[in-house]
Structure 1
Amino acid sequence: MLTLSEDTDKESGDANCFPNRPVISGFDVCAFGCHLRLTAMHPDALDVFQHFVFPSLPRTAPGREKPDLCIRIEAGEGQYQLFADNAIIASAPEARDLVVGLIRVLDETVVGHLKALHAVHAGAILWRGRVLLLPGKSHAGKSSLVAELLRQGATYFTDEYALIDRNGLVYPYPRPLLLRNGRPDQVPAFAEECNARVGAAAAPVRLILLVAYKPDGAWSIEPISQGIALLHLLQNTPHVLTDSPGMVESFQRAVAGARCYAGTRGDAVEAARLILCMMDESS
């Protein structure tokens, strides 16, 4: 556990981002070039940070460098409050009830600070050294399908943002999955709960699948061109094209070695089985 001092130099922008608050402990995390500082005002808050803030990335003691974002959780009057810098993001009776809001803040901040990588709203898994991309916005059924692919032996990359470099390789984005499991509210889950590992290195794309979930639907897909797949990647990026030089070229390289399909799916178990068969056929 990394302990912060209350009387850290306030001029440094550092160690205690909130110098007038009592600090229990905290740590720094660097995620894809974004420097995050997590400050806990209660042991339950520290537990949330340790478990849910990019758990596979190393923690360091707060230094003198000013972070890109300071996040803290305070406790008082029967409520925990989540802050990003000095803005209140969410309140809840239990610290763990703030996890979904915390993950969304982390996503927004990290993606907003990407420099060498470009993000796409997509689920992604690794299978036999190659990546499957499932582009799609929230509520598209990406997370439930990713979770089932993990249960069937795939390695976890992401259920929300695929990060693509200038060579078209996809990097793991190691945050917890957010699953609905038939409920309106999301709950966090770890790859380990699906008996899966988290990816450790970038890999090339083998298959791009634009598949829409239909509760009473059946598996039905057709090949599409790489150009159509590229268009969908561009439609599902949070970046502004004019502010992201090189993004189109990065996505073109990601698509260049991939087979691309679009269609519909029903049950995630059957869809995952068929997708992994397709990945094997593409090897």
Structure 2
Amino acid sequence: MDTFTFHLGGDLPVRRLGFGTGGLVGPGYWGPRGETADARALLHAAVDRGVTLIDTADNYGPELAETLIAEALHPYREDLVVATKGGVVRTGPDQWHVAGRPEDLRAMCEASLRRLRLDTIGLYQLHRLDPEVPMAEQLGALDELRREGKIRHIGLDTVTREQLAEALTVTPIAAVQNPYNLMDRSSEPVLELCASAGIAFLPYYPLGSGGLTRTPAAALATVSAEHGAGPGQIALAWLLHRSPVLCPTPGTGSLDHLDENLDAATIRLSPRELELLDVVA
């Protein structure tokens, strides 16, 4: 087991257990979830607990999550990396469309820079590949922003192994976000390529949208009981053990749940427990 640190793009160190901001906005990623002060307190608490990777997107809210981050945490700690995404336009709760034209991506990135009050975004992720725009044009736009110093590293969201391999022929890719958790390992081929290429894999739905904690499988319940921990903590600890490139960023709107999630980094799973959990999928 390593020290739970990963270097994005080989040069940007982050703690592997981060914080996702989807839980700071309302259902369907639309509007506020609760009081602004509570969201700010949660962001402060995450950083105070040692989180150095905060994952967000321009369409969370929309725009709300990025604004909250800047209001709560700017000026930022030197070791804090704010990762955001562009390429999706949200028009209502759970309603969105892909917008991957180069001019759209540039406008979105520059708007995120203003909202986050940053000169450079540490990790800027293409939220979805636009099937109507050649990949080389989409990534070319991000690569141009990188050369201008507005992006430090480029990431992808929801891609196949083949798409990731093609993207790597266009520009360096520092991170990928795909669904991956104890129950859903459909992105295993993508994880394998990330591991071999030294690319961070930020699994979304690391707790299976809550399904892993609401009705934990027998093996998960057994290991949880052995550690006196919640099933969510064991599921996150499993991710940290599964591969050194996995960097989960679970989100929450609760301070208590935040502490539970971050405490997962202290759990050490034995080979027997890992073998037991491997049958869950």
Q: TM-score if structure 1 supplies the norm length?
A: 0.25
Q: Answer 1 or 2: which has greater helix percent.
A: 2
Q: TM-score if structure 2 supplies the norm length?
A: 0.25
Q: Answer 1 or 2: which has greater strand percent.
A: 1
Which protein is bigger by CA-based radius of gyration? 1
